[in-house]
Copies of this chain bind each other. A is one copy, B any other.
Amino acid sequence: MNVEYINPFIEASMSIINQTTGFNPKIGKLYIKNTPYKGDNLLILIGLTGKIQGSVVLSFSTEMACKIASAMMGGYTVTQLDELAKSAVGELCNMILGNTATLFSKKNIHIDITPPTILTGDNIELSIHQTVIVCVPLEFDDGSKIEIDISYRDK
């Protein structure tokens, strides 16, 4: 695992989540996921090209996604994942990855990101071949978490 490649994702996640929701999650223990792996009920997928080619999948339980959307909308109660709530969580992830790309550019590493694809479903399983998959768990005070799965090939 190339720490130089993982730190910008962590730094951007912490900073953007704090700015947009007020939450202050802790970083859990990073680990490598093997393919295939199970996803939560709401996934936000953002592709990476340039020096780092791959994708980032942010995985939320329905409850966690509602909590994030509510915090982003000034405390407005969110009890189900409607399009507005999904769009808010998608925008959070877009901001995290946009900030990640800026942090990489400061290290002279150029990456481009795709717009987010937002996906809900049951029994979701993901397979990503020929890449490393590093999971960064973000742990919240109430025991809930968000998983950020970063898979990449170094070009």
The interface of chain A, by Cβ under 8 A from chain B, is: 35-36, 39, 43, 45-50, 53-55, 57, 83, 86-87, 90, 112-131, 151, 153
Contacts and interface: CB of A to CB of B under 8 A. Distances in A.
B47 A114 contact: yes
B115 A125 contact: no
A53 B131 CA distance: 22
Given A54-B115, A55-B115, A83-B127, 14 more contacts: A36-B86, A36-B118, A39-B121, A46-B47, A50-B112, A53-B114, A115-B153, A119-B119, A120-B123, A120-B127, A121-B121, A121-B122, A121-B124, A121-B125
Contacts of A120: 36, 123-125, 127
A92 to B, nearest CB: 13
Contacts of A57: 117
